[in-house]
Amino acid sequence: MPDIIHLLPESVANQIAAGEVVQRPASVVKELLENAIDAKATSVKLVVKDAGKTLIQVTDNGIGMSETDARMSFERHATSKIKKTEDLFHIMTKGFRGEALASIAAVAQVEMKTRQQGAQIGTLLEVEGSKIKRHEAEHCPEGTTFAVKNLFFNIPARRYFLKSDAIELRHIIDEFQRVVLTHPDIEFSFTHNSAEVFTLPAVPLRQRIVHVMGTRYNEKLVPVDESTDIVSVSGFIGKPDMSKKTRGEQFFFINNRFIKNAYLHHAVMSAFQELLPNGHFPMYLLYMTINPAQIDINIHPTKTEIKFQDERAVYAILHAAIRRALGRFNIAPSLDFEQETAIHISPVRVGQEVRPPSVQINPDFNPFNTDTKPKQESAVSGWFDKREQGADGWQDLLQIKNDAVTQLEALNHIPASDEVLQTAVDFTFDEETIPFQLHRKYIVCTTPKGMMLIDQQRAHRRVLFEKYIRQIEEGRGMVQQLLFPAEAELQPSDIALLQNQMDDIRALGFDLTIVENKQIEILGVPADASISDGQRLMEEFVEQLKNERENLHYKPRERMAWALARSSSIRYGQMLTEPEMSNTVALLMQCAMPYAAEHNKPTLITISMNQLEQQFK
């Protein structure tokens, strides 16, 4: 039987390695930016075309490479960071595996120009599919420029499975932000399709955060600073009112390297316990410095996961540092051991008369005399006595206003819209009663066969969803023009998310234009939105849209309609008038699916008279 095991060709091996390192254009951006930082650059420029599918160019003013180093940098396992096994336990640089450039060159057309500082001439190297096409001397500036063109040109299947430009651009922005937030002392710029996305000068960390995330974060940052023998923690956390339902503003950096760690995230969440609404996530940028020998960063090809030698100690220190920061700025309650344990009595105000407490005593009271004991009556018997005494008042409460009856009769005969599919609903208003609100959360209606409880928020969301989905399909929506245009400052990744669906957003009723890479000018909002503040409505709409972008249960247009419905619907705790309740119920009954809101959560429940009578047996 012949031998069946053989060595893979170099090109095939490189493409397999590329599958671990280069997953999408953002992976290339990450590797090239990290190489520029390791080259001791003070200025880095990123240029991207077509979300990285056509061109990714990174230019730095670092130390550059010699002709030999330039050629060796594209070989697998070639690196200047480590020389022996012991070096793996003292890594403080970004790249060290020696696979990045070889993997990128295996699936793209790469052009590199580099010149060492003080050298008279540089080097030009062109590599295509792991094969060197051109290698010659070149006059170029000091530093290094990488131009990665036509990513996955030789693997059509991988290129086919790339997402839209807006989604790929969002991933590139995420990787860019993780790098620039780690190195505020380096100047960065980012250009996409000749449009400037970021221009970041070298500034202190707090200013870098504001430049990247927006000016509204400046007053919401709480500094964290804790130093121990095990780990040092610094950075900023956001105040509780900056929390969001979506992730994306949570950053951990270990020795200036971005990482993901669910265990440390739990430490932050537990520190914010009872300070955040249910389902919300705090914003934080936490930088931890630890002895490299105490961690292992060589467990994942992208180096975003690490192992700690003493993870529990790091957890406890991180949790304590955040609690201390929250308590220091009076955001969370803290223990005050200097305060006396005696009862605190407010001081007497000027001119206030101090009166001794009065005590009423019955001198004839005898606990052994049963005849003189006060008569005790149960709450039930007292209630029936008062009911009998005030029977006339109960009759007054059951009277129905004539105008309300007329209105309810009219609501029973509202014609259904032609665009809405009708569903048979066994519901008619009882003319003897009107809907009323229970705990500012439910609408209670009586029916000929019993009663109906309607969740006011879910019901309104269902009504708005079906309206918005029709508007998107028809391409038109009612717009309420604002008296004064509003401006909303969003993340560049959020802008990219909106640009990908701008036609559908305008069909919902938004009239907006993108002024800059972070600014949106809002001229009009949907006519039936419950929030008239254009900036607040847009921010909530984007937040809801991000919250559902990974939900594959709905189509993209359905996710958008649900996002706006959640932002525009009435809320729990909102007091409703009788016409508002009646109108909500009537519109719900006209929906194609009135029984369920998003994620198939029920909008209403019915209780029959038989069910009620069974409870009193």
Asked if residue 239 and residue 196 are part of one domain, the reply reads: no
Give Rg (Cα) of the chain.
33
How would residue 510 be classed by pLDDT, with cut points 50, 70 and 90? confident
Asked if residue 577 and residue 499 are part of one domain, the reply reads: yes
Q: What tokens does 48 get?
A: 């991207």
Residue where a domain terminates, one of 140, 175, 202 = 202
Residue where a domain terminates, one of 287, 302, 328 = 328
Asked if residue 228 and residue 195 are part of one domain, the reply reads: no
Asked if residue 301 and residue 251 are part of one domain, the reply reads: yes
Q: Is residue 188 part of a domain?
A: yes
Residue where a domain terminates, one of 182, 202, 222 = 202
pLDDT at 15 over 60: yes
Mean pLDDT over 470-494 rounds to 80
For residue 144, give the nearest of 124, 127, 118, 126 by alpha carbon.
124
Is the Cα torsion angle 228, 231, 232, 235 positive or negative in sign? negative
Q: What tokens does 521 get?
A: 């000018």
H or E element that contains 235: strand 231-238
Is the Cα torsion angle 139, 140, 142, 147 positive or negative in sign? negative
Q: Is residue 382 part of a domain?
A: no
For residue 247, give the nearest of 610, 543, 457 by alpha carbon.
543
Beta carbons within 10 angstroms of residue 266's beta carbon: 13
pLDDT (0 to 100) of residue 549: 62
- pLDDT, tens digit, 9 for 90 and up, residues 344-382: 444 555 555 656 666 666 677 666 665 544 444 433 333
Pair 181, 212: CB distance under 8 Å? yes
pLDDT at 115 over 90: yes
Asked if residue 528 and residue 563 are part of one domain, the reply reads: yes
Mean pLDDT over 160-179 rounds to 88
CATH code, domain with 604: 3.30.1540.20
How would residue 97 be classed by pLDDT, with cut points 50, 70 and 90? low
Pair 495, 514: CB distance under 8 Å? yes
How would residue 487 be classed by pLDDT, with cut points 50, 70 and 90? confident
CATH code, domain with 278: 3.30.230.10
Mean pLDDT over 327-335 rounds to 63
Beta carbons within 10 angstroms of residue 600's beta carbon: 9
- The rounded distance, in Å, linking the Cα atoms of 202 and 573 is 47
Distances (CA, A) of 586 to 330, 427, 428, 463: 48, 10, 10, 10
Q: Is residue 377 part of a domain?
A: no
Asked if residue 257 and residue 226 are part of one domain, the reply reads: yes
Q: What tokens does 365 get?
A: 């009271």
DSSP label of 422: P
How would residue 611 be classed by pLDDT, with cut points 50, 70 and 90? confident
Beta carbons within 10 angstroms of residue 518's beta carbon: 20
Domain that holds residue 195: 10-202
pLDDT at 262 over 70: yes
DSSP label of 107: S
**Angle between helical axes of 165-180 and 205-213 (0-180°, round to 10):** 170
DSSP one-letter string for 54-100: SEEEEEE-S----HHHHHHTTSTT--SS-SSGGGGGS--SS--SS-H
> Of 62-66, 174-178, 402-406, 484-488, where does mean pLDDT reach its minimum?
402-406
**Angle between helical axes of 578-589 and 456-474 (0-180°, round to 10):** 60
Pair 209, 304: CB distance under 8 Å? no
Q: Is residue 606 part of a domain?
A: yes
How would residue 45 be classed by pLDDT, with cut points 50, 70 and 90? very high
pLDDT at 427 over 70: no
Q: What is the mean pLDDT of the chain?
A: 77
Max distance between CA atoms of the chain, in angstroms, equals 117
Q: Is residue 519 part of a domain?
A: yes
Mean pLDDT over 24-32 rounds to 91
The pLDDT > 70 percentage for the chain reads: 74
pLDDT (0 to 100) of residue 81: 61
DSSP label of 219: G
pLDDT (0 to 100) of residue 59: 94
Q: Is residue 14 part of a domain?
A: yes
CATH code, domain with 59: 3.30.565.10
Q: Is residue 339 part of a domain?
A: no
H or E element that contains 262: helix 262-271
- pLDDT, tens digit, 9 for 90 and up, residues 579-610: 888 888 888 888 888 888 887 888 888 888 88
Q: What tokens does 559 get?
A: 């996710």
Pick the more confident residue, 548 or 89: 548
Asked if residue 213 and residue 179 are part of one domain, the reply reads: no
- The rounded distance, in Å, linking the Cα atoms of 8 and 4 is 12
Q: What tokens does 146 get?
A: 């990488």
Asked if residue 226 and residue 194 are part of one domain, the reply reads: no
- The rounded distance, in Å, linking the Cα atoms of 33 and 25 is 13
Q: Is residue 35 part of a domain?
A: yes
- The rounded distance, in Å, linking the Cα atoms of 318 and 253 is 13
Mean pLDDT over 413-425 rounds to 35
- H helices within 508-549, ranges in order? 534-547
Asked if residue 133 and residue 228 are part of one domain, the reply reads: no
Asked if residue 217 and residue 196 are part of one domain, the reply reads: no
Asked if residue 15 and residue 147 are part of one domain, the reply reads: yes
Give the number of domains in the chain.
Answer: 3
The 3-state DSSP class for residue 190 equals: strand
Asked if residue 131 and residue 165 are part of one domain, the reply reads: yes
Pick the more confident residue, 30 or 497: 30
Pair 171, 466: CB distance under 8 Å? no
CB proximity list for 39: less than 8 A, separation 6 or greater: 60, 62, 63, 64, 143, 144
Pair 460, 467: CB distance under 8 Å? no
Q: What tokens does 489 get?
A: 């400052």
Which of 52-61, 270-279, 468-477, 513-522 is the most confident on average? 52-61
pLDDT (0 to 100) of residue 302: 59
pLDDT (0 to 100) of residue 613: 85
The 3-state DSSP class for residue 124 equals: strand
